[in-house]
Homo-oligomer: A and B are copies of this chain.
Amino acid sequence: MENFADRLTSAILRKNSRVVVGLDPHPQLMPPHLREDASLEHGEGIQAEAHAIMRFNEEIIEAIAEHVVAVKPQVAFYERLGSWGFLALEKTLAMAREAGLLVIVDGKRNDIGSTAAAYAEAYLGDGPLAGDALTVNAYLGEDGLRPFIDRCRGSAKGLFILLRTSNPSAGDVQDLPVHGRPLFLHLADLIDAWSQGTEGEGAYRSVGVVVGATYAEEARQLRRRLPNLPFLVPGYGHQGGTAADVASCFNPDGTGAIVNSSRGVIFAYRERYGPEEFARAAKDAARDMKVDINRALGLGD
C-alpha cells in the first residue's frame, strides 16, 4: 500500500499543482440561490442549509479537481449544523474521493488515551468521516498524538500537527522563549522525533506539520529543520500570504508542501462571474493559484 507521503508527492508531480482547497461553507458567503433551491424541498431550517452545502461542494469539487491535489473541509462549518452537518460532511468526503482528490479533514482534534484513539478511529479509520489525513494539536504531548501517528505507519493515512499557525495571535504561546528560542522550534524537534517510522518510498514522512504562510521567516527556519516533513500551509490569499511567502515552505525541487486557500477559491464568484457561475469562478481561481505558486517556485505552469 502506498503511504500518505508518497501519495501526496505523486499527486503534486502528476498534476503539477501544490494547491489544497478549503471547503469552508460560510453561510453568509454561499451563493444565495443554492439555499433558496434547497428551501423549496427541505424548508427553512438546518436540513436545507446542509443540502445547500452538499450541492455547493459537489459542484466545487467537480470544477476544481484537475487543478488541485486535495480538499480540506474545515469541520467547524459542518459541526454548526449538528447531525445534518455531519451528513453533509460524509457526502463531501465521498464526492472528493470519487473525484480522485486527497482529503485532509481539518479538525484540529486533540485528546488523550482512549479519547484520542476514538478520534483516530473516526478520522483515520474506515468509518463515514475518515479522510486521508487529519490536522491535530500537540499541546497534550506525545501520548495524545501516538494513536494518530501509529495509524500513519504502514497505511495510506497521514497527519498534520499544528506547529506555527497563520493567525495574528499565533505568537502568544508559540513564540514563548524556551531555552532561548521560540517554543515552536522546540516543538519542531519533538515532532521530528515522534514522526520517525512513517517514512514512505520517497523523501517524506506521512506525519507533517501546519506552517502558516503569513510567517515566511519562521517557515524558512522550519523547512531547514524539518526537511522530511510535508508542510500544510494555510494563510495564502485572504489572510495575506503571497506566493513569494509560501515559496519558503517548499524544498528546492518544488515538493514538500501544499498550500491552502479557502474563500479565495470557493467564493471567487464574488470577484468574477457572479453567483450563478460559482463553480467556473472556483475552477479559474484554483488554476490561477496553481500557476501563481508554480511561478514563484520557478516551475513551469
The chain A residues found within 8 Å of chain B, CB to CB, are 24, 26, 46, 74, 76-77, 79-87, 89-90, 108-116, 118-119, 121-123, 125, 127-129, 137-144, 162, 165-174, 176-179, 183, 186-187, 190, 239
Select one of B24, B81, B112, B169 contacting A143, CB under 8 A. B169
Q: Once the chains are docked, how many angstroms separate the CA of A125 from the CA of B27?
A: 15
User: Are A115 and B169 within 8 A (Cβ)?
Assistant: no
**Beta-carbon contact of A83 and B128 below 8 Å:** yes
Residues of chain B lying within 8 A (CB to CB) of residue A46: 127-128
In angstroms, Cα B74 to Cα A176, docked, is 30
The answer to whether A187 and B173 have CB atoms under 8 Å apart is yes
Q: How far is A177 from B119 in the complex, measured between Cα atoms in Å? A: 30
This chain's copy number in the assembly: 2
Q: Which of B121, B141, B162, B172 contacts A171 (CB 8 A)?
A: B141
Beyond A26-B114, A113-B239, A139-B174, 16 extra complex contacts between A and B, CB < 8 Å: A24-B114, A74-B111, A77-B118, A79-B119, A79-B129, A86-B86, A108-B110, A113-B167, A139-B165, A141-B165, A141-B169, A143-B167, A144-B167, A172-B190, A173-B187, A178-B183
Q: CB < 8 Å: which of B114, B141, B169 contacts A170?
A: B141
